Structure 1
């Protein structure tokens, strides 16, 4: 991000082009393997904070300017937050796993057919738990629905568009 400082200062480059540069150069690297992440509420806040830090850095807005995140997102015409993009990739990957054969390792892990003992203490949030909370349904129901690629794509679009934290919450 700091190596792009000369680009951000250049007034001959439009804001639209700078937004495309941030998405292509920074967010593309950031979301590498995001479909395998387990994102909790605190993680989502950190992702949103990183995104806002990038936008403020691009626009050269100091922290003393007292600009709200909503005003910056409106100025840049951002309609989908970075954390929502991560959620979309997670749901798309879940659909991909659901359509695989039954003896596939990823599908076995997601369906919970792994044998063994859990460690002591409070259990960690599982990857499939975030699928369940995002869809408000059981994982097995989602596995059945995801067999149809068209239906699953519509459900993912519905969940992502009605997420509730776009552009800012």
Structure 2
């Protein structure tokens, strides 16, 4: 069986893939690792990790998986004996969790937020069996179902709750070290990509250190991380 020894550990080459999260895709002082198969993305614990550190592919993948789950429940949506409120609860219990898996770590840009909102409206139209030829505005559908919290708002709330968890963790927390740490050297010219922590400033109009200080108070942070309105599903 082909294998290599690295740091006193035997690694099976046929079962090991190498993913380099770096723009240049260059490995230095790692001649032994260069013998492994290199991949551009890798599915780790149910989440897709790409070599550029971007979560666009993961969000699109989650949308497709959730759409597939929604389609498999076609018999439920066609059943007229089930009330709309019950169907909404089923969507929140059976479909949304599939999409929201790992959403705490997503960096949601403006175009992705639009895609998430469009996916949510596809869910409600599919549930109500509204054809594309029917000229129904999104607002009328949301009012009919009494949906006051959008799916993108739920993603925002989960991200802020996770940030509060990191802020209240101990000084030896790995997540806190990653969030507050800095990489030595200079980055290349050009606009810097959007970071996960940059969402805090856009959501709360607070800098990262201010948000971490505010998150120390659980009651205050719970209010800030809560969606703007009370959801239909408790």
User: TM-score scaled to structure 2, two decimals?
Assistant: 0.65
Is residue 107 of structure 1 aligned with residue 107 of structure 2? no
Residues 25-45 of structure 1: CA deviation (Å, up to 9, x unaligned): 110111011100000111111
* 1:34 and 2:103 correspond: yes
User: Normalized per residue, which structure has more strand?
Assistant: 2
After TM superposition, what 4+ stretches of structure 1 lie above 6 angstroms from structure 2?
A: none
More helix by share: 1
2:193 corresponds to: 124
Q: Which runs of 5+ in 2 are unaligned?
A: 1-69
Which ranges of structure 1 fall in alignment gaps of 5 or more residues?
none
Displacement of 1:119: 4.8
2:166 to 70, 75, 97: 97
Q: Which residue number corresponds to residue 86 of structure 1?
A: 155
Greater RCO, 1 or 2 (C-alpha within 8 Å, sep 6+): 1
- Residue by residue, what CA displacement relative to the aligned partner does 1:75-132 show, whole Å, maximum 9, x if unpaired? 0011100000000000000000001122322112222434354355321100000011
Q: Is residue 115 of structure 2 the alignment partner of residue 46 of structure 1?
A: yes
- Structure 2 CA distance for aligned equivalents of residues 127 and 140 of structure 1: 14
What's the TM-score, normalizing by structure 1?
A: 0.89
Q: How far apart in 1 are the matches of 2:192 and 2:174?
A: 22
- Which of 64, 69, 83 aligns to 1:14? It is 83
